[in-house]
Structure 1
């Protein structure tokens, strides 16, 4: 596959299969979910080999480093060769997927849950659907020193 010297970030994210369509990749850039060195970037930003990007997609947060430029979308096995995934395992949402979440089943016809039932449900599901905490300390922790 010939490599191209200039490549837009939206096309790159689409070609390495981080986004299903190029339009979704463009919208993610416009919404500020793609960052380079903590700064939001436009969809027209030129990708360079060696740059590290933070990409947010729903609950999923990925840190990727560009190892090669890929102009066209290829199968997943080939696409992995063009980026390095630096996402820490504890930040990965793979283990927090909807399929692994605790399932609550209520008897049919039991009616609405009571306030007590609702609290028990919330306690059971706590932490499964909340985004991971931001990296770094808070201002309150820094001022205590």
Structure 2
């Protein structure tokens, strides 16, 4: 199976186009080598995905026939992402929750634009 199709099938990317674009930008490594979207992958290979400044590592366990449900992903991929990388992700999520108290409502258009500008400045890809 192609690497872009595999990453889409295990729900790492929302669309195959996003997965193939990540390959074009050399954000997908198979066995520590950048790959094209058409690269065939095999079980036991390790895929490194650089997404949102986080380096995820996934080991291919089995190749799915098509896109699988979220509960079945663990049958096809093993997450090897280091704890430090997951901590980075949690810090980003914490930053988002700091701006607004829970239950205070939807941000205004101005607040949303300010938030997007801030996030773009600090968390560029």
> For the superposition of Structure 1 and Structure 2, which TM-score range results when normalised by the shorter chain?
0.7 to 0.9
**Structure 1 unmatched ranges of 5 or more:** 1-6, 106-127, 132-145
1:63 aligned residue: 57
Of Structure 1 and Structure 2, the greater helix share is in 2
State the 4+ residue runs in structure 1 displaced beyond 3 angstroms: 102-105, 128-131
Among 1, 4, 8, the residue aligned to 2:2: 8
Task: Give the C-alpha shift of residue 104 in structure 1.
Answer: 5.9
Match of 1:75 in 2: 69
Render the CA deviation track for 1:41-84: whole Å, top value 9, x for unaligned: 01010010000011011122210100000131121011221000
Aligned match of 1:47: 41
- Judge conservation of contact 1:52–1:65 (CA < 8 Å) in 2: yes
State the shift of 1:103 in Å.
Answer: 3.4
Q: Answer yes or no: is 1:23 the counterpart of 2:17.
A: yes
1:103 alignment partner in structure 2: 98
Please name the residue that 1:136 is paired with. none
Larger-Rg structure? 1
TM-score w.r.t. the length of structure 1 is 0.63
Aligned length: 102
Q: Counterparts of 1:89 and 1:130 in 2: how far apart (Å)?
A: 22
Structure 2: distance between partners of 1:75 and 1:104: 33
Which 5+ residue runs of structure 2 have no aligned equivalent? 101-121
Gap change, CA 1:58 and 1:94, over 3 Å in 2? closer
